[in-house]
Amino acid sequence: MSKAGELRGQTRDDLEKQLLELLKEQFNLRMQKGSGQLNRPSQFKTVRREIARIKTVLAEQAAAGKPDA
């Protein structure tokens, strides 16, 4: 889990890559839950919060007018 301060230092492309990976992980967790194979249900919360953290930093960057930084 990364902190928002660490995320703010990354480029927009890096953040979008991380976001895509987390969305894929969230999908896989949903599939595991549906098939009854999910071992750690608390992972949902962690992934969901990390996605929100990245989206917040991306929104902050867009509001500040930073296209790639």
| 3-state SS, residue 10 | coil
Residue 19's Cβ-count burial label (10 Å; 0-12, 13-18, 19+) is middle
Domain boundaries, given as residue ranges, for the chain = 4-63
Looking at residue 30, what is its pLDDT? Answer: 93
d(CA 34, CA 12): 33
Looking at residue 9, what is its pLDDT? Answer: 87
The third-level CATH classification (topology) of the domain covering 4-63 is: Helix Hairpins (1.10.287)
- pTM for this prediction: 0.84
Tens place of pLDDT for every residue, the chain, 69 residues?
668 788 888 899 999 999 999 999 999 999 999 998 888 889 999 999 999 999 999 999 999 886 665
Looking at residue 56, what is its pLDDT? Answer: 94
CB 59 within 8 A of CB 4: no
